[in-house]
Structure 1
Amino acid sequence: MKHKKRKIGVFTIFLAVGVVVVAAALMLRGVFRSFPSADEVLEGYMSCILEKDYDRMYQYLDDTSRRIISREDFISRNQNIYEGIGTTGLQVTISGAESEENEVAYSVSMETEAGTVTFNNHARFTKEKDGYYLQWDDSLIFPDLLSTDRVRVEELKAQRGTIYDRNGLVLAGQGTVSSVGLIPGKMSEEPSEDIRRLAGLLDTTEEGIQEALQQSWVKEDTFVPVRKIKKSGVENALLGEAGAPGSQLEQELLAIPGVMITDTEDRVYPLGEKAGLLVGYVQAVTAEDLEANPDKGYTSQSRIGKAGLEKLYEDRLHGTDGCRIYIEDQNGEEKENLAYREKQDGEDITVTIDYQLQNDLYDAFAQDKSCHVAMNPKTGEVLALVSTPSYDSSSFVLGMSENQWNALNDNPDQPMYNRFKASFAPGSSFKPVIAAIGLSTGKLDPDADLGKSGTSWQKDDSWGSYMVTTMHEYPEPSNLKNALIYSDNIYFAKAALQIGGDVLAEQFDRIGFQEEVPFVFGTTPSQYVNEGGSLSDDILLADTGYGQGEVLVNPIHMAAVYSAFVNGGSMIRPVLEYPETGAPEYWIRDAFTAEAAETVRSSLIQVIESENGTGHGARVEGVVLAAKTGTAEIKDSKEDTGGTELGWLAVFTADPARENGLLLVSMAEDVKDRGGSNYLIGQEKELLAAWTK
C-alpha cells in the first residue's frame, strides 16, 4: 500500500482572534469544485469545540455518520462532554500521512478542569465529489470512548483549614450537624398540617418545604433535606439558639410523619456566640467574590470567609478543590482515567486565643453591651477577644431565616457590632497614660502636691460656669500615687494643663494615637481630638487629662499601652499567632521611660492593695495585681445632666518577671446606676481569681 508523504502540521485553537476556522460555507455540498484537504477539514472540525458551535461540527460528518447519530444527539453528546470537563484550550498536531483510505493521524492536548488531557488518535474521512467528510463515532472525542460509555467529572472537595485555640481546641472546623428532611412516601396523605408544624419548628416557610418536595429528582423513598440544625452533644439547639433539649426537639420533629433526621458534615463553631465576632463565619461565594478572586480556585459552589478570623485568614484556610475526569462503561465501572488534579486542603491555623477564657469572659458579661481584651503583657499573645452581645456563627452556615436575620439587625444592643474593634471614651482608665507621659517628659513630679480643691475646680473665671468635678476628697497629699488610688479627676486636669497641649499631642502620636494598631484585626484608631482639632483649648485639655473631652481609645490599643508598665516602658505588639522567632515583638519601644513605667506600675498596685483604692474589690489573695478603673460620661454637651456611662477596668499581673501573666482590659456600656466601674469588678472578681493564680 502506497502512502502520500505529508508535511506534519501543528495548530492551536483559541477563542481569540486567529482561530483556525474553515468556514462552514466551504463544506456546503456542491458549492466549490476545489475543496480543503482532509487535515484542513479536521482543523475546521476541531476549531468548533472551543467556539461551542456543535451544530457546525455536525456539518463535517459524512452521510453514514449522520444516519447513525441525529443532529440533536450529536450536539448533546459533544456539548455535555466538552463543556462538562471544562475545555478551555486545544492544540491539535497532525502527525501522520494521508493514506488511500483517507486516514489522518493526529495528537491532542486539551486543557480541562482536571488539567491537561493528551492522547493520540486518528480520523477517517469519506472522500466525496465536493470534499472530505468525517466518519464520526465517539472515539473521535476520546480514542477509547464508546457510544455506551459516559465521561465522568468527579470533584475532589478540598477541606477548609481548621482554626484551633492555643491548646488545640477547635474554634472553627469540620464537624457534625443534623439534617432534618422528609421522605415523601412516608408522609401523611394530607400533609399540609404536618408541613405547617415542621415549618414552625424549623423557622422556615411552608412554601419552601413544598418547593423542596416538588424538585424533579424527588421520588417516594428519597430523603429531601429541609434544613440543617446545630448538633451539640446532648442538645440540638436550633440554628444556634438556646432551644429545647435535643431529645425534646427530636421527639417533636420525629412525631411528624415522614420526618427523618440524619447526621451530615459541615463547618461548626463550638463556642457559638461566645466567639462569633472573633471567629466570624463562611458563606457561599457571590458573583462579586468570584470576580474579585479570579485565580484562587473558587467556583460557584465554594464558600468564603465573610467575617472575623474566617475572613482574615481566608487565603490560608481556603483549600483548592481537585478534579478527576474518567470514562465509565455501561456497567458503571471505571474504564479509563483521563486527567487528575490533586486537591489542596486549606492550612490549619493555631491562634493564641484561650478557648476557656473566651468562654468565661463572655459568660460573665453575656447580658451586657461590652468588650474585653485579654493578653499576656510580656509576649503580646492575645488570649481572648470578646464582644457582647454577639451572634452564633453557625446561623450563617446552616442557613438563617428571615426572622433570625431581622432579629439580629433590629436588636438595639447591636449583636453584629464588633466592640473590641471600636474606640470609646476611656474615662479614668486613661489617667495612667497621662501620668506616664508627664513623668517621661519631666513635666510632672510624682511627689508634688498639686493642691486641694474639694470636689469641684476650675482654672479661673474664664471657664465661666464649667467645673471639673471629682468623686472623693482625701486627707493625703494630692500627689500622683494618691490621685491614682482615689481616681482624682481634678489632679489629672491640673496635670494635663501643666504638661501642655503641644507636649501631650506629640506624645499621644508617639504611642500610636491617630493610627491603627498593628494587629490582624483592623481597629478604629484611638484619638485625642476630633479631626482637625487641637488641644489649644484649656477646658478640652483639662478634660483630656482624665479621659473625657474628645478622647476615644480602642481597647486593644489600651492593652498595648498598659503592657508598657511591665515592660520597662515599651509597648508590646499584640499578636494572634505565635511569632516565627518565638520572641515577643514590641510595637513601640521606649514609649515611656523605664522610671516612669515603674512609678505608674507601683501606684497602680496600690489602686488594688489600698483599702481606699477604686480597684480594691478586685484584689486576689496571693497575687500582686495592678489596675485602674474608669467611668466615662457619655452626654450630648457639657450642660447635659442625663446621658449614660461607660465602665472600664484595666487590670494586670504586676510582677515584671512573670512570663505567664494576664492583662485584661474591659469596657461595659450603660453602667450608670449599676455601680459604674465597680460593676465590672463584681463581674470579673471570680474570673480574676481563677486566671491569675
Structure 2
Amino acid sequence: MRKLIVIAIILLVGAITACSDDNATPSDRFSNYINHWNEKEFDKMYAMLSKSAKENYPTEQFVDRYKKIYQDLNVSDLKIEAETLSDKESEKAMKDGKVSIPFSVSMKTTAGPISFDYEANLIKQEDKDKENWYVDWDTGFIFPEMKDSGELRIDSTTPARGEIRDRNDMPLAMNDTIYEIGIVPENLGEDAEQNKKKIAQLLGLSIESIDEKLNASWVEPNLFVPIAKITKEDEALWNELVAINGITRQETTGRIYPGGAATGALVGYIGQVTAEELKKQKENNYSAQDTIGKRGLEKLYEKQLRGIKGSTVKVINDGEETILTEKEAKDGENVKLTIDINVQEKIYNTLGGDKSTTSVIDAKTGETLGLVSSPSFDPNEILYGSTANIWKKLEEDKENPLLNRFSSTYAPGSVIKPITGAIGMKNGTIDPKEGLKISGLTWSNGEGWGDYEVTRVSESNGPVDLHDAIVRSDNIYFAMQAVDMGAKAYVEGLKAFGLGTDFPFEYPITASSISTSEKLDDEVLLANTSYGQGEVEMSSLHLATAYTAFLNDGNMLKPTLLTSEEKAQVWKDKLITPKQADIIKEALRDVVVDGTAKRSAKNAKFPVSGKTGTAELKLTSDSDGQENGWFVGYPTDDEDIIVSIMIEETKGNSGLSTEKAVEILHKMKE
C-alpha cells in the first residue's frame, strides 16, 4: 500500500511539472529568451528555437554566427525589450498555439549605435512529451535586413597614423611612399628555383618563407604576391631585384624614420600587432592586420598617433546595400617635440659610435633639444630589412645598441660635486670662503672606516675652499663636508634636487637614486656619495636639469619634451640663492680655464663652463673597474644650452667627454 502511495505522489509531481510548462505564457517564455540574449548566451537561445528553425539553421549557423558577428562588431550595451501580451492576447495565443510579439534591439558597435524593431513568432510545440512555446527564429533577428539571405559586411577604414615632428616641423616619424616587392609566379621563368634563391639572398629572406607566400590558397599564376617592403631610398637594392625574372613592385604607404639611428632610441618604431598585444588592447579595436607602437615615442604616444578606425556596417541583399551604421575614420594626431633633429644628428655623429648618452636642454626654458643614446639602431632597417637577421645582429652586438642609455641612470662621478656644494651652502654647513686643511692624497675618518680611505688626484698647496674643490675636483673636500653635514641633511638636499623621486618628464626616464635604500646610514657611503661614487645614480637628463639651478638664480627648471608644454616651469625653486648660484658658476668657468677640463677643452672657440667627472665602477675597493667619463657644461657668455654627456669605458682618456661636449657646443653654435 505504501509503495502505491509513493508512486502516486511521483506521478502527481510529474503532472504538476508538465502542467507548469503548459501554463507558461508566451510572454514569460520570450522574456526568458530575451534574458539569454541580453547575456549573449547563444547556446541557451538555440535550445528555445522551434523545430523548423533548428532544421533551417543548424547550431553552427546560429551560435557560431551570432558569436562571430557580435565579436566582429564588438557589441556592447546590448538591450532587448519586448512588449507584454495582454490577458486577452495571451488567451487567444493559448487557444491558437501561436503568437507574434514585437520587440526592439539596441546595441553599441565599433561603427556606432544600431537599433531596430522586429517581430518574434512563437509557436507551441511538444518536445519530449512536454508542450512549450518556442521561437520560430530567422536571420532577421540578427538584423532585419539580413532576412531572406542578406549578408552582413563590415568594412574598415584605416586612419593615417599621426606623425612625430621636431620643434621645426621636421619629420622624425612620417608616412611616405614605400615599395612593396612582389613576385608574379608565372614570370619566374624556367629558372624559378634559382631566381627565388637570388631574391631570398638580396632581401635576407629564406626560400621557405617565399614558397610559403607563393603557395597561399589565394595565389594565382598571374597575381602579384607581396614578399617584402623596401624604402624609396633603396634604389640600389631595387636595381638588383628588378633584374630577376618575376620581380615587380607596387607603391604603398609605410612608416619612415628620417633620423635613422640618430633618433632610433627616442622615436622607436611600429610593428605588426602580436596575439598578446591584441589581448591587452581588446577594448581598443585592434585587428591582427594592424600595426602598433613597439618602442620609444611610437609606443608612448600610441593612443594619440593611432587615430580611430572608420567602420561601415552594411547588409547586402540581392545586390542592394543597406547601411546599418557607419563611423568616419579619424586620422591620428601629430606629436610635436621640443627636440631639434639637427641637434640630434650632430650629437650622434659627434659620438661616433661611442657607448654613451647625451642630453641637451635649453637652460632658460627647460626644453629638451637632444636626447641621444649611442650606439643605436635604425628603425627603418627593423621595418624594411630582414627582420630575423637584423635582430640577430643587434642582439649579438657587444656594444648593446638596443640599450637606451639616455633613459638609464649611472654613477655621476664628480659632476655631482657642484650639487653637493649647493646643498651645503643652502643648509649652512659649507661656507664657500672657508678653507679646509687637507694633507696628502688620502683621508679616513677614523677607526670606523677600517682600511678604507678617500683619495684625491692631487695635493693642495693650502686650505681648500669650495671654489678650489670644484676646480681641482677634490674628493676629500666633499667627503669631509658631507660627513660634517650629516646623512640626514645631505639626503634632504639630494631629494631637494630631485633624487629619490620620479623624474617629471614625458618620456620614461629612470628615477635618479641616492642609494639602494635611499638612505646614507653608513658614513663611508655618505662620503663616497658626496663625490658621485657609492650607490648614487643619475640620468644624463637629470644632471642637465640640475645644472639649470645654477643658471636661473637657484631655481631648477622642469624639463619638457612637447612643444605644447608650458616653457620655463620651475620644478624645484630656491635651491640656492642667486649669489650662491654665482659662486658655483665662477667655479664651473675656472674648471675649464685652469682646472680638470683645461687640457680637454683647449680647442674651445668660445668660453665654456662646466664640470668633469669620472665614475669608477668596480666590484671591490682594490680592483680595477670600468671608468665612465662625464661632462656637464654650457657656453659661459650665453648660458643658453646645457650639454650633459657620459661616455662609457674612458679609462686612459678621461677628457674624451669634455672634448665631445665642446665639439657639440661648437656645432650647435655654428
Question: How high is the TM-score relative to the length of structure 1?
Answer: 0.79
Structure 1 residues 293 and 628 mapped into 2: Cα distance closer, same or farther (>3 Å)? same
1:494 is displaced (CA, Å) by 4.3
1:577 is displaced (CA, Å) by 1.9
Residues 321-330 or 421-430, more deviating: 321-330
Q: 1:295 is paired with a residue of what secondary structure?
A: helix
Residue 346 of structure 1: which of 328, 332, 337 is its match? Answer: 332
Q: 1:650 is paired with a residue of what secondary structure?
A: strand
1:420 equivalent to 2:420? Answer no
Instruction: Indicate conservation of the 8 Å contact 1:570/1:591, yes or no.
Output: yes
Residue 539 of structure 2: which of 550, 554, 557 is its match? Answer: 554
Structure 1 residues 507 and 43 mapped into 2: Cα distance closer, same or farther (>3 Å)? closer
1:192 equivalent to 2:193? Answer yes
1:403 equivalent to 2:389? Answer yes
Q: Deviations over 1:127-186 (max 9, x none)?
A: 999999999987676555585764321112233322221111222232233222211111
1:412 is displaced (CA, Å) by 1.9
Q: 1:667 is paired with a residue of what secondary structure?
A: strand
User: Which amino acid is the alignment partner of residue 281 of structure 1?
Assistant: Y
1:652 equivalent to 2:638? Answer no
Instruction: Indicate conservation of the 8 Å contact 2:50/2:125, yes or no.
Output: no
Query: How far, CA to CA, are the matches of 2:227 and 2:296 in structure 1?
Result: 28
1:273 equivalent to 2:261? Answer yes
Query: How far, CA to CA, are the matches of 2:604 and 2:122 in structure 1?
Result: 96
**Aligned match of 1:682:** 659
Query: How far, CA to CA, are the matches of 1:482 and 1:133 in structure 2?
Result: 96
Residue 615 of structure 2: which of 622, 632, 635 is its match? Answer: 632
Q: 1:576 is paired with a residue of what secondary structure?
A: coil
Give unmatched runs, 5+ long, in structure 1. 1-31, 237-245
Structure 1 residues 621 and 206 mapped into 2: Cα distance closer, same or farther (>3 Å)? closer
Residue 295 of structure 2: which of 304, 307, 311 is its match? Answer: 307
1:612 is displaced (CA, Å) by 5.1
Q: 2:292 is paired with a residue of what secondary structure?
A: strand
Query: How far, CA to CA, are the matches of 1:442 and 1:119 in structure 2?
Result: 77
**Aligned match of 1:118:** 115
Instruction: Indicate conservation of the 8 Å contact 1:58/1:71, yes or no.
Output: no
Q: 2:229 is paired with a residue of what secondary structure?
A: strand
**Aligned match of 1:28:** none
Query: How far, CA to CA, are the matches of 1:422 and 1:131 in structure 2?
Result: 70
**Aligned match of 2:491:** 505
User: Which amino acid is the alignment partner of residue 615 of structure 2?
Assistant: A
Residue 509 of structure 2: which of 503, 523, 527 is its match? Answer: 523
Aligned-residue CA RMSD in angstroms? 4.0
Q: Deviations over 1:646-669 (max 9, x none)?
A: 11111123458x6xx211100000
Query: How far, CA to CA, are the matches of 2:515 and 2:142 in structure 1?
Result: 72
**Aligned match of 2:651:** 672
Instruction: Indicate conservation of the 8 Å contact 1:615/1:627, yes or no.
Output: no
User: Which amino acid is the alignment partner of residue 156 of structure 2?
Assistant: E
Query: How far, CA to CA, are the matches of 2:65 and 2:486 in structure 1?
Result: 81
Query: How far, CA to CA, are the matches of 1:449 and 1:548 in structure 2?
Result: 23
Instruction: Indicate conservation of the 8 Å contact 1:529/1:535, yes or no.
Output: no
1:270 is displaced (CA, Å) by 1.9
Instruction: Indicate conservation of the 8 Å contact 1:55/1:71, yes or no.
Output: no
Query: How far, CA to CA, are the matches of 1:140 and 1:540 in structure 2?
Result: 74
Residues 291-300 or 139-148, more deviating: 139-148
Query: How far, CA to CA, are the matches of 1:178 and 1:220 in structure 2?
Result: 21
User: Which amino acid is the alignment partner of residue 621 of structure 2?
Assistant: K
User: Which amino acid is the alignment partner of residue 113 of structure 2?
Assistant: T
Structure 1 residues 592 and 93 mapped into 2: Cα distance closer, same or farther (>3 Å)? same
**Aligned match of 1:356:** 342
Query: How far, CA to CA, are the matches of 1:652 and 1:567 in structure 2?
Result: 13
Identity of aligned residues (%): 31
Structure 1 residues 137 and 623 mapped into 2: Cα distance closer, same or farther (>3 Å)? same
User: Which amino acid is the alignment partner of residue 648 of structure 1?
Assistant: W
1:579 is displaced (CA, Å) by 5.6
Query: How far, CA to CA, are the matches of 1:496 and 1:174 in structure 2?
Result: 54
**Aligned match of 2:270:** 282
Structure 1 residues 692 and 438 mapped into 2: Cα distance closer, same or farther (>3 Å)? farther
Structure 1 residues 336 and 647 mapped into 2: Cα distance closer, same or farther (>3 Å)? same
User: Which amino acid is the alignment partner of residue 351 of structure 1?
Assistant: L
**Aligned match of 1:691:** 668
**Aligned match of 1:21:** none
Structure 1 residues 222 and 52 mapped into 2: Cα distance closer, same or farther (>3 Å)? farther
User: Which amino acid is the alignment partner of residue 629 of structure 2?
Assistant: G
Query: How far, CA to CA, are the matches of 2:84 and 2:602 in structure 1?
Result: 87
**Aligned match of 1:295:** 283
Instruction: Indicate conservation of the 8 Å contact 1:104/1:123, yes or no.
Output: yes
Query: How far, CA to CA, are the matches of 2:25 and 2:451 in structure 1?
Result: 101
Query: How far, CA to CA, are the matches of 2:268 and 2:658 in structure 1?
Result: 29
Residue correspondence of structure 1 range 253-268 to structure 2 within 5 A? 253-268=241-256
**Aligned match of 2:167:** 166
Query: How far, CA to CA, are the matches of 2:549 and 2:150 in structure 1?
Result: 72
Q: 2:263 is paired with a residue of what secondary structure?
A: helix
Instruction: Indicate conservation of the 8 Å contact 2:42/2:63, yes or no.
Output: no
**Aligned match of 1:603:** 587
Instruction: Indicate conservation of the 8 Å contact 2:630/2:658, yes or no.
Output: no
Q: Deviations over 1:435-483 (max 9, x none)?
A: 22232233333333434646x2324785777554444567797443344
Residues 510-519 or 539-548, more deviating: 539-548
**Aligned match of 1:593:** 577
Structure 1 residues 499 and 616 mapped into 2: Cα distance closer, same or farther (>3 Å)? farther
Q: 1:421 is paired with a residue of what secondary structure?
A: coil
Give unmatched runs, 5+ long, in structure 2. 1-20
